[in-house]
Amino acid sequence: MRIRVLTPLEMVLDREASRITAHGDHGFFTLLPRHVDCVATLVPGLLFVDEEVLALDEGVALKQGADVWVTVRDAVRQAPLEALRQAVEERFLTLDEHERRARSALAMLEAGTLRRLVDLR
């Protein structure tokens, strides 16, 4: 398989792989060359590509034939495992105040819209 890991700014990884393990919404999953095509959402965590490990922010993984595309908001490569774990905790799981307020405002808008839809019934 050929895996490509992309962020909005760069291609972080582009190489052949025989086994890919990622952290999705429902836990870890593994892709092998003969697996069926699929799409999975990724949560902040680690991506294992054979013997290499990357830290990823949230994103999407797509397997189509022999190609695997992983698109994420941010990724860290070529660091010791402890540094990768720390990057996931500090950079990807911690929301800054601006993002926290934006998500809160969006949640209030969604709740208000749902209340209005219920009232229309």
Segment 51-67, tens digit of pLDDT: 999 999 889 999 999 99
Quickly list DSSP for 71-102: EES-EE-SS-HHHHHHHIIIIISPPPHHHHHH
Alpha helices, DSSP H only, in the chain? 81-87, 97-120
| Residue whose tokens read 């019934």 | 121
pTM, whole model, 2 decimals? 0.73
Distance CA 44, CA 30 (A): 16
Structure tokens at 98: 């601006």
What are the Cα distances from residue 63, in Å, to 54, 114, 118? 18, 35, 39
Segment 69-85, tens digit of pLDDT: 999 988 988 778 888 87
Domains of the chain: 2-95 (2.60.15.10)
